[in-house]
Chain A
Amino acid sequence: MTSSMRSLNWKFSQVFGERHPGEKVEEIDIISAVEFESRGDYLATGDHGGRVVLFERTNGKDYQLRSRKELEHTDSSVTSHPLYSYKTEFQSHEIEFDYLKSLEIGEKINKLRWCASSNNSLFILSTNDRTIKLWKVSDHKVKKIIEMDSNAYISSENALLSEKSFLTDQSIQSVPNGYHLEWITKRPKSTFPTYKESPKMMFKFGECASSRCRRVYSHAHDYNINSISINSDCETFLSADDLRINMWNLEVGNQCFNIIDLKPLDMEDLVEVITSAEFHPAYCNLLAYSSSRGFIRLVDMRQSALCDQNARILQDREAHGSRSFFTEIAASISDIKFAKDGRHILTRDYMNLKLWDLHMESSPIVSFKIHEFLRPKLSELYNGDFIFDKFDCCLSRDGCHFATGTYSNTFKVFCHDGGHTDGTRLEASKNPNRVSHTQECQKNAGLLTIFARGLHWRGHENSRFDSSDCDLDSKLIHLAWHPTTNLIACATKCSLYMYHAESEHF
């Protein structure tokens, strides 16, 4: 399969939480994390209000039972793209106050990661700035008692004892195992009810997802947690903050091991911070972390208990052309992702998306420019704090297509085919490909903005790009690629858009 020869034709698929233009968006509703479950059957989003919302795939889940090999063969023949529906949501984190440090800890979900699921229960790790939590979401098949005759004669206790025996008394086939009788409603406390009517009248069958926090991993981070990543051994995970990376056992909430500590004795000596960290998808001993100076360090946990010595450092030595205060800030890597093959790493810094081969340390194999027209304006972006925006990146299952977000509610999809590196620009709306059209619309609609900022931008009239089509407040930070098919979920403010693509062969 020469997937690099394929280009993708993107189409709008679904949207959740769409807002009309001009509709006010509450801060707490803004999405802060998007993550697909490993098979892609579920999608989770976290928001600034500390909530986690789960979506469930509604079509084509039957392939679950087939082996992975079969799947690979049938991959391209799956015609229908995944569709999702709302499943459940829960409040993962609340605002807390650290009394020792007089510090308020926000409830915003920084990262979500799915754990191996079992017995039809889903497990998901969520983290805010300080505390990581493990949530279990499971379906209860619920039998609701609609009506009950509380005047019925008091039965002997065996009627209560076994639903099975009770039901056979009524000469009705026994209900399959696993139904959870919900006794909460309308249940008289002191009497033993019996049912005169047929159970079909009495019970309403339904599914309800319940979520419970199974474990809390806390008090291990002094700085804001930026990443969590689960090891391929399905037993441990890491959590990274600005200066430290800790390793946890999923079963143990009160103890973790520090494996990387960048904190200098004197904070004056601080030169860089950790911005993102991820475990290798297959080798349990390897992890990669990125730094604010644009380095990617590869660490082998087999070497020593404290992994301050990196095994390998990936660093773009060619990118040191025109150095300035701003280019150094812009070099900070905001996200790293291992490709499925475990050999390539995708990184995103402020201006570029770069694909690295672990065997080539001196430069990325390919580098895509995201919004080069902003380069002359780095100082203004710095003044507005935009330069510190931390964009996610993601890549397709085959590792040949990459996506990342930018401003004006758009994201770009690139293809690694050795040739052009322009990529496809898509707007997060129901009409993703109307980019040129949008630009004009925005010019009209954004007249007021242009007027307000007119003075400022008139000076750059000669630049190749007209900056007025770049709406800095509509940034598309979070996005994720479906693990098996070409489907991208991306978040703009509080809306979640999904796009799918069918490959076309040239």
Chain B
Amino acid sequence: MATIDEPLYPIAILIDELKNEDIQLRLNSIRRLSTIARALGEERTRKELIPFLSENNDDDDEVLLAMAEELGVFIPYVGGVEHAHVLLPPLETLCTVEETCVRDKAVESLCRIGAQMKESDLVDWFVPLVKRLAAGEWFTARVSSCGLFHVAYPSSPDQLKAELRSIYAQMCQDDTPMVRRAAASNLGKFAATIEQHHLKTDIMSMFEDLTQDDQDSVRLLAVEGCAALGKLLEPQDCIASILPVIVNFSQDKSWRVRYMVANQLYELCEAVGPEATRADLVPAYVRLLRDNEAEVRIAAAGKVTKFCRILSPHLAIQHILPCVKELSTDSSQHVRSALASVIMGMAPVLGKDATIEQLLPIFLSLLKDEFPDVRLNIISKLEQVNQVIGIDLLSQSLLPAIVELAEDRHWRVRLAIIEYIPLLASQLGVGFFDDKLGALCMQWLEDKVFSIREAAATNLKRLAEDFGPEWAMQHIVPEVLEKINNPHYLYRMTVLRAISLLAPVMGADITCQKLLPVVIASSKDRVPNIKFNVAKVLQSLVSVLDQSVVDKTIRPCLVELSEDPDVDVRYFAGQALQACDQVMMSS
């Protein structure tokens, strides 16, 4: 971190670099703007650095983006909050550039500065800035202005507030869809700062304008604002003004709008209260669950649990569950997949009886789905069901699905299920695991695909960690070591890999007695790849084992390997020997 005592020379270079033709140097310099400012002192920063930055607005977007970000935290360097307004001009110009990300960052920084400014300063400096931007010739300025109203509004006097509201209303009716989109997406934020009586009149009329826009993209953003707006209003006002709109939207001609509704609907339930939810929102949601467009059903299916949590179990069973049944046999695999990823969460909501009676058949049919993603999504959320229906019932139905996935044609599916095994094992317990899954874990060690064998070895290590060395000694180690006799060298290599992973978990004794002899024996393998992997494994075992074992067993073996005819074997043996020496030196 630079200090004020730092010599002036590097500062001069930084300033010089602000004007360099090399973008990387300019970028570096901007990133260290605070250092420059500290060196210059507050007054010169205000009078020289900031005006310079204001002029320097014709740069590459990366530089402008960095500048917009740095200026957001610059208040300490210009002399504190009372001077914060000097930062506004450079950010104002950045609010008008063409590149969206620069504008967004500049708006973000302005909001951050505005939040710290004194009320009177806001009125003197910030509000005029917002008004200037809103009156900008190009849409870029007007777009940026929409994100600033919520900072400017609260501290303004009444007359100015009225003016700001009317300017925002103009933004909602701007000629360019870009500005209307910005107005729609910022409406919620702005509304949160507005007095209740204006909310009902001014804001609601803006909201209505936006919901009837010609452009789908504007209406989409208006839907997004529904929930935020609904939460600000009194429940009865929300029912009167927002509810009809959202019910309309749920039957909009554009599937994109309905998609948005499907994503947002559950948030609105809280705002309107249980009565209106039951009367209006549940039917709307049911319609969305049965929509013609698969994309809408995907969105609706993905929210089924969140929606049910708000409803009473009775309503959920009566209205939502029949739809869920239909969705579980939907023609689109993506719908089923979305359902599978959330449906397990319904179990705690519905309670044990309903789950066993109604949900379990759906789980089972999804577990047998032809599309692997659907099955995986179910399996990854098993713990939620486990709590409700208990392990016995679950395991009966679960096992066939897991076995099927474990042998899936696509190796990525097999990989995914392997990665779930430790989780499953911890959820289902040792007993269940031993009976059913143990054999699978061994089988994967001999998979045709390397990634699967690799994952299988890691899986064994995680199981050993979960269930403890003793269990591993009984159930894993003997079977793994047996596989060292496999005729194919690639499988023997997998065993070596498993040993190197297991050793730290098993501890020195078991490693020395059981694992090490197998490794040493493999050093006589006829395949050089095995031999240099032996050297690598031995190297990793050095840290696990006692020094005496290293000297007595590992070192002689490595010495022998270091005289191997194969160059690679010699190389890795040499490496391992060096490692032995280092350990000895340090101990």
Across the interface, name the chain A residue whose C-beta is closest to B61: A214
With an 8 A cutoff between CB atoms, is A384 at the interface?
A: no
User: Assuming A118-B140, A192-B12, is B181 touching A304 (CB within 8 A)?
Assistant: no
Interface contact B52-A164, CB-CB below 8 Å: yes
Q: Which of B138, B177, B255 is close to A234, meaning CB atoms less than 8 Å apart?
A: B177
With an 8 A cutoff between CB atoms, is B295 at the interface?
A: yes
Number of chain B residues whose Cβ lies closer than 8 Å to a Cβ of chain A: 43
With an 8 A cutoff between CB atoms, is A177 at the interface?
A: yes
Kindly list chain A residues whose C-beta atoms are within 8 Å of the C-beta of B176. Answer: 116, 234
Interface contact B216-A233, CB-CB below 8 Å: yes
With an 8 A cutoff between CB atoms, is B254 at the interface?
A: yes
With an 8 A cutoff between CB atoms, is A104 at the interface?
A: no
**A-contacting 9-mer, from B13-21, B362-370, B411-419:** B13-21
A86 to chain B, nearest CB (A): 24
Most buried by A among B54, B98, B139, B255: B98
User: Assuming A119-B138, A162-B52, is B16 touching A183 (CB within 8 A)?
Assistant: no
**A-contacting 9-mer, from B43-51, B155-163, B198-206:** B43-51
B146 to chain A, nearest CB (A): 15
Kindly list chain B residues whose C-beta atoms are within 8 Å of the C-beta of A183. Answer: 19-21
Interface contact B51-A232, CB-CB below 8 Å: no
Interface contact A302-B51, CB-CB below 8 Å: no
With an 8 A cutoff between CB atoms, is A147 at the interface?
A: no
Kindly list chain A residues whose C-beta atoms are within 8 Å of the C-beta of B255. Answer: 302-305
| CB interface residues, A 265-313, toward B, < 8 Å | 282-285, 301-305
With an 8 A cutoff between CB atoms, is A158 at the interface?
A: yes
Q: Give complex CA distance A283, B11 in Å.
A: 56
Interface contact B253-A302, CB-CB below 8 Å: yes
Interface contact A284-B58, CB-CB below 8 Å: no
| CB interface residues, B 446-485, toward A, < 8 Å | none
Q: Give complex CA distance A164, B56 in Å.
A: 11
Chain A interface residue count: which class? Answer: 35 or more
B457 to chain A, nearest CB (A): 34
B293 to chain A, nearest CB (A): 5
Interface contact A181-B11, CB-CB below 8 Å: no
Across the interface, name the chain A residue whose C-beta is closest to B11: A157
User: Assuming A119-B138, A234-B176, A285-B254, is B100 touching A161 (CB within 8 A)?
Assistant: no
Interface contact B48-A234, CB-CB below 8 Å: no
Across the interface, name the chain A residue whose C-beta is closest to B89: A177
Interface contact A304-B58, CB-CB below 8 Å: no
Kindly list chain A residues whose C-beta atoms are within 8 Å of the C-beta of B48. Answer: 158, 161-162, 165
B330 to chain A, nearest CB (A): 15
Q: Give complex CA distance A179, B54 in Å.
A: 11
Q: Give complex CA distance A302, B295 in Å.
A: 12
| CB interface residues, B 90-140, toward A, < 8 Å | 96-98, 100, 138-140
Interface contact B181-A235, CB-CB below 8 Å: yes
Q: Which of A118, A165, A177, A184 is close to B47, meaning CB atoms less than 8 Å apart?
A: A165
A402 to chain B, nearest CB (A): 28
With an 8 A cutoff between CB atoms, is B358 at the interface?
A: no
Interface contact B49-A161, CB-CB below 8 Å: yes
Across the interface, name the chain A residue whose C-beta is closest to B13: A157
Q: Give complex CA distance A179, B8 in Å.
A: 28
With an 8 A cutoff between CB atoms, is A344 at the interface?
A: no
Interface contact A118-B57, CB-CB below 8 Å: no
Interface contact B51-A164, CB-CB below 8 Å: yes
Q: Give complex CA distance A165, B12 in Å.
A: 17
User: Assuming A119-B140, A234-B178, is B100 touching A160 (CB within 8 A)?
Assistant: no
Interface contact B15-A284, CB-CB below 8 Å: no
Interface contact A118-B217, CB-CB below 8 Å: no
With an 8 A cutoff between CB atoms, is B586 at the interface?
A: no
| CB interface residues, A 169-225, toward B, < 8 Å | 177-181, 183-184, 192
Q: Which of B8, B98, B217, B256 is close to A157, meaning CB atoms less than 8 Å apart?
A: B8
Kindly list chain A residues whose C-beta atoms are within 8 Å of the C-beta of B96. Answer: 119
With an 8 A cutoff between CB atoms, is A440 at the interface?
A: no
A335 to chain B, nearest CB (A): 27
Interface contact B55-A284, CB-CB below 8 Å: no
Q: Which of A161, A177, A301, A305 is close to B54, meaning CB atoms less than 8 Å apart?
A: A177
Interface contact A180-B216, CB-CB below 8 Å: no
Most buried by A among B19, B100, B215, B254: B215
Q: Give complex CA distance A121, B61 in Å.
A: 14
Across the interface, name the chain A residue whose C-beta is closest to B14: A157
Q: Which of B57, B138, B217 is close to A284, meaning CB atoms less than 8 Å apart?
A: B217
Across the interface, name the chain B residue whose C-beta is closest to A121: B98
User: Assuming A178-B57, A302-B256, is B217 touching A233 (CB within 8 A)?
Assistant: yes
Interface contact A302-B11, CB-CB below 8 Å: no
User: Assuming A119-B138, A160-B19, A178-B58, is B216 touching A284 (CB within 8 A)?
Assistant: yes
Interface contact A302-B216, CB-CB below 8 Å: yes
Q: Give complex CA distance A374, B75 in Å.
A: 76
Kindly list chain A residues whose C-beta atoms are within 8 Å of the C-beta of B354. Answer: none
Kindly list chain B residues whose C-beta atoms are within 8 Å of the C-beta of A119. Answer: 96-98, 138, 140
A283 to chain B, nearest CB (A): 7
With an 8 A cutoff between CB atoms, is B214 at the interface?
A: yes
Kindly list chain A residues whose C-beta atoms are within 8 Å of the C-beta of B293. Answer: 303-305
Closest 5 CB pairs of A and B: A302-B254, A162-B52, A180-B58, A157-B12, A233-B217
Given contacts A118-B140, A158-B44, A234-B177, 17 further A-B contacts (CB under 8 A): A116-B178, A119-B96, A119-B97, A160-B15, A177-B57, A178-B58, A183-B19, A192-B16, A235-B177, A235-B178, A235-B217, A283-B214, A284-B217, A302-B216, A303-B253, A304-B255, A305-B295
Name B's A-contacting residues (CB within 8 A): 8, 11-12, 15-16, 19-21, 44, 47-49, 51-52, 54-55, 57-58, 96-98, 100, 138-140, 176-178, 181, 214-218, 252-256, 292-295
